[in-house]
Amino acid sequence: MKAKRVTVMAMCIALAMILSYVESQIPSPGIPGVKLGLANLVVVFALYRLGWKEAAGISLLRVFLVSLLFGHAASLAYSASGAVLSLAGMILLKRTDKLSCVAVSVIGGVLHNAGQILMAWALMGANVVWYLPVLILSGTVAGVAIGVVSAILVKRIKL
């Protein structure tokens, strides 16, 4: 059983890294932080099918490895703050059991953006208030898309 768990987690991390790479090849619409968050598919799936500790492990390792491989020096700080906030929100919301994984994913997307904005504010003193509405909107839209696909995955894939 333990070997299986380790294997599944390793596969999830690998998949999340591939999805991050695929996403990096999609042209950006020109506002930092506006993105689909494909890797969140794996995290939401893991949250529902493996457990919160596994989801946290997958997400944080993914962020670390992707920053190491494809990122620049500053990207780790931004990605990590987004991932931590997003994870915390999704884990807590899932615990309340009042929302389906679509809304959990939406909150995850919005909080991921919020975490990055907070880090930009902390590191550079950037005036971030103008980004808030855009990133809440984009986080919500992306969260719905990722959440709907995650819901299908969670339903279909049994481990």
Taking the complex as a whole, how short is the minimal distance between the CB of residue 89 and other proteins, in angstroms?
11
Q: Please select the residue that binds other proteins; options are 91, 100, 118, 153, rule is CB under 8 A.
A: 100
Residue 155's Cβ-side half-sphere holds a number of Cα atoms within 13 Å equal to: 9
* Alpha-carbon gap, residue 68 to 51, rounded angstroms: 26
* Alpha-carbon gap, residue 121 to 89, rounded angstroms: 20
95 belongs to the binding site for other proteins (CB under 8 A):
no
* C-alpha to C-alpha distances, 42 to 32, 118, 120, 138, nearest whole angstrom: 22, 24, 26, 19
Taking the complex as a whole, how short is the minimal distance between the CB of residue 122 and other proteins, in angstroms?
9
80 belongs to the binding site for other proteins (CB under 8 A):
no
The 128-147 site mask, x for binding other proteins (CB under 8 A), equals xxxxxxx-xx-xx---x---
Q: Are 55 and 43 in contact (CB under 8 A)?
A: yes
Pick the closer one to other proteins by CB: 69 or 123: 123
69 belongs to the binding site for other proteins (CB under 8 A):
no
Q: Could you tell me how far CA 137 lies from the centroid of its own chain?
A: 16
User: Which residues bind to other proteins, rule: CB under 8 A?
Assistant: 28, 30-32, 72, 74-75, 78, 98-100, 102-103, 106-107, 110, 120, 123-134, 136-137, 139-140, 144, 151-152, 155
